[in-house]
């Protein structure tokens, strides 16, 4: 189904204005109200204490927001990547820490299990994740392998009916709290990324997983980012996600979705900056009539608007792409590369717009924005992470350029 209105009354409506079908509109409005009533008032509390918002995540679970893109038969809301992106946008408007926690759980743990899991794996793992009984994480990055994700050194050695996983994973969102972790390990380093890396569904209860560090961060302080050490973590063979040697594709595909939804979170961040500025200027008539200020307001609004369109297009594309993968359709490599290029563009563009919007908002509001507790101050600290995680924007630019130059 198209996300666009079924009968656009004009080209401008088709091109410039996403008229959401009723189900998305109702979902977004309900989520907005949920965030306003149950979440917004406490986000500064958790951020200032650098505390994981356990109670808030339980509220997300209670209201059915822990498996938005996942089909209903696995306990999800069955709203696909587009509906999920709309949710990340709304959450991003309120708090990027919460968006990060929900994003790692949903986009990087539930989604790969939905896309690549066997029916048994989906039935075993998704209901407890989508209901929020368990929290999910995605462990790809290692001390020497982030930008160069193919360089992972965590090993998975086959022994009888299980694999033994050994190695260190770094900067893992929800890493110290998640009960279910999608982990990437080298089954055979000599084979390189395609053939040599396998994805696993790992339960913390398997043992052999130790949290060795929890990072202190400049922003998204209510989310946790942990280093995990795997020491002879024994994973049953039936917990291979996809096929042995197929893990790099699982990771890259998951990150396509992650980047599209991350772009939507950044749109939410830019919109929040704009709203803060408009609220502030409502009581500052002299500033409101200042042309330099007007120019900055226009720039924030213009870029936020453009980023919304880029993000929605990317979400729409990934929505269809993921539905086909979940149906076991084989997608040609060229098509996959176009999707990756577009999600890389959306991620890099929207995250940079959000950072610029936060900076301009701070500039306009001056001391009032700079004060601790101001949404602009938190927004400024929180926004830059979207330029870093799920592949830095330097790496997104490599993805884009290499595809265009035929170098990938
Ligand atoms: C808060 C947070 C949460 C995270 N959550 C997760 C998670 O849940 N799961 C997970 O697996 N990972 C996660 N990450 C890891 C994240 O995706 C990586 O940190 C990121 O991809 C950068 O990789 P790196 O750490 O190796 O940085 P580096 O590669 O060391 O980057 C350092 C700098 O060098 C630049 N650079 C590197 N290579 C190139 C190149 N070839 N060309 C141009 N510039 C280059 C980078 O752009 C960057 O500016 C998280 C990171 C953070 C900070």
CATH number at residue 296: 1.20.140.10
pLDDT at 196 over 80: yes
- pLDDT of the residue at 373: 87
* 169 CA: nearest ligand 1 atom: 11
Please report whether residue 156 resides in a domain.
yes
Q: In whole angstroms, give the CA distance from residue 152 to residue 143.
A: 9
Please report whether residue 12 resides in a domain.
no
Probe ligand 1: pick from 100, 101, 102, 147, max atoms within 8 Å of CB? 147
Of 241, 266, 296, the position where a domain reaches its end is: 241
- Report which of 394, 332, 351, 327 is spatially closest to residue 148, judged by C-alpha positions: 394
- pLDDT of the residue at 6: 37
Mark whether 319 and 359 lie in a shared domain: yes
pLDDT confidence band for 18 (50 / 70 / 90): low
Please report whether residue 14 resides in a domain.
no
Residue located nearest, by CA, to atom 35 of ligand 1: 394
Query: Separation of 254 CA from ligand 1 center, angstroms?
Result: 16
- Report which of 102, 108, 72, 71 is spatially closest to residue 88, judged by C-alpha positions: 102
Query: Separation of 344 CA from ligand 1 center, angstroms?
Result: 14
Catalytic member of 142, 271, 303, 390: 390
Buried b (16+ CB within 10 A) or exposed e, 214-231: eeebebbbbbbbbbbbbe
Percent of the chain clearing pLDDT 70 (strictly above): 95
Mark whether 323 and 192 lie in a shared domain: no
Mark whether 191 and 92 lie in a shared domain: no
* 388 CA: nearest ligand 1 atom: 20
Of 194, 220, 241, the position where a domain reaches its end is: 241
Mention every residue, 6+ apart, whose C-beta is less than 8 A from residue 321.
Answer: 256, 331, 335, 339
Query: Separation of 147 CA from ligand 1 center, angstroms?
Result: 5
pLDDT at 2 over 80: no
* 104 CA: nearest ligand 1 atom: 8
Mean pLDDT of 195-211: 98
Mark whether 91 and 150 lie in a shared domain: no
Ligand 1 neighbours (beta carbon < 6 A): 104, 138-141, 146-147, 171-173, 217, 225, 385, 388-392, 394-395, 398
| CATH code where residue 120 lies | 1.10.540.10
Mark whether 214 and 359 lie in a shared domain: no
pLDDT at 199 over 50: yes
Query: Separation of 384 CA from ligand 1 center, angstroms?
Result: 13
| CATH code where residue 156 lies | 2.40.110.10
Residue 204 structural domain: 137-241
- pLDDT of the residue at 8: 35
Mark whether 227 and 313 lie in a shared domain: no
Mark whether 221 and 188 lie in a shared domain: yes
Please report whether residue 219 resides in a domain.
yes
pLDDT confidence band for 408 (50 / 70 / 90): low
Mark whether 121 and 69 lie in a shared domain: yes
Report the chain's C-alpha Rg in angstroms.
Answer: 21
Domain count, the chain: 3
Mark whether 202 and 277 lie in a shared domain: no
Active-site residue, 390 included: yes
Mark whether 398 and 295 lie in a shared domain: yes
Query: Separation of 84 CA from ligand 1 center, angstroms?
Result: 24
pLDDT at 17 over 60: no
State the Cα angle at 200 between 199 and 204, rounded to 5°.
Answer: 140
Please report whether residue 158 resides in a domain.
yes
Mark whether 68 and 212 lie in a shared domain: no
- pLDDT of the residue at 19: 76
- Report which of 187, 202, 198 is spatially closest to residue 233, judged by C-alpha positions: 202
pLDDT digits (tens, 9 = 90+) for 206-227: 999 999 999 999 999 999 999 9
H or E segment and range at residue 165: strand 162-173
pLDDT digits (tens, 9 = 90+) for 133-149: 999 999 999 999 999 99
Mark whether 262 and 397 lie in a shared domain: yes
Mean pLDDT of 270-285: 96
Please report whether residue 337 resides in a domain.
yes
Residue located nearest, by CA, to atom 25 of ligand 1: 146
The whole-chain average pLDDT of the chain stands at 94
* 146 CA: nearest ligand 1 atom: 26
Please report whether residue 2 resides in a domain.
no
Q: In whole angstroms, give the CA distance from residue 190 to residue 98.
A: 39
pLDDT at 317 over 60: yes
Of 211, 241, 271, the position where a domain reaches its end is: 241
Please report whether residue 356 resides in a domain.
yes
Q: What does pTM read for this prediction? A: 0.95
H or E segment and range at residue 123: helix 119-130
């Amino acid at each position: 189904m198209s996300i666009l209105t079924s009968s656009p009354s004009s080209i401008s409506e088709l091109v410039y204005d996403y008229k959401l079908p009723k189900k998305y509109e109702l979902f977004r409005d309900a989520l907005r109200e949920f965030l306003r009533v149950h979440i917004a008032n406490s986000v500064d509390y958790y951020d200032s204490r650098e505390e994981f918002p356990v109670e808030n995540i339980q509220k997300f679970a209670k209201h059915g927001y822990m498996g938005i893109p996942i089909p209903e038969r696995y306990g999800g809301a069955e709203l696909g990547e587009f509906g999920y992106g709309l949710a990340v946008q709304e959450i991003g408007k309120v708090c990027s820490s919460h968006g990060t926690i929900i994003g790692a759980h949903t986009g990087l743990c539930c989604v790969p299990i939905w896309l690549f899991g066997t029916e048994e794996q989906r039935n075993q793992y998704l209901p407890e994740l989508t209901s929020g009984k368990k929290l999910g994480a995605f462990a790809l990055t290692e001390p020497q392998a982030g930008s160069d994700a193919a360089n992972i050194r965590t090993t998975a050695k086959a022994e009888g009916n299980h694999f033994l996983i050994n190695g260190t994973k770094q900067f893992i969102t929800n890493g110290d709290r998640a009960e279910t972790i999608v982990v990437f390990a080298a089954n055979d380093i000599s084979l390189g990324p395609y053939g040599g890396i396998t994805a696993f569904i790992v339960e913390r209860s398997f043992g052999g997983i130790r949290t060795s560090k929890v990072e202190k961060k400049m922003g998204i302080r209510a989310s946790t980012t942990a280093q995990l050490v795997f020491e002879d973590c024994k994973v049953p063979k039936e917990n291979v996600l996809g096929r042995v040697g197929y893990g790099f594709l699982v990771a890259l595909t998951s990150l396509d979705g992650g980047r599209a939804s991350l772009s939507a979170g950044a749109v939410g961040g830019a919109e929040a900056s704009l709203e803060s500025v408009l609220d502030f200027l409502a009581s500052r008539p002299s500033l409101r009539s200042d042309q330099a200020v007007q120019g900055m307001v226009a720039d924030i609004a213009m870029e936020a608007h453009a980023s919304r369109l880029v993000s929605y297009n990317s979400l729409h594309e990934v929505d269809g792409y993921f539905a086909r993968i979940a149906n076991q359709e084989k997608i040609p490599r060229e098509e996959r590369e176009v999707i990756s290029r577009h999600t890389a563009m959306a991620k890099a563009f929207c995250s940079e717009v959000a950072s610029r919007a936060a900076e301009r908002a701070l500039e306009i509001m001056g001391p009032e924005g700079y004060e601790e507790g101001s949404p602009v101050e938190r927004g400024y600290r929180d926004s830059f992470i979207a330029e870093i995680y799920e592949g830095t924007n330097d790496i997104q630019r490599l993805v884009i350029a290499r595809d265009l130059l035929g170098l990938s």
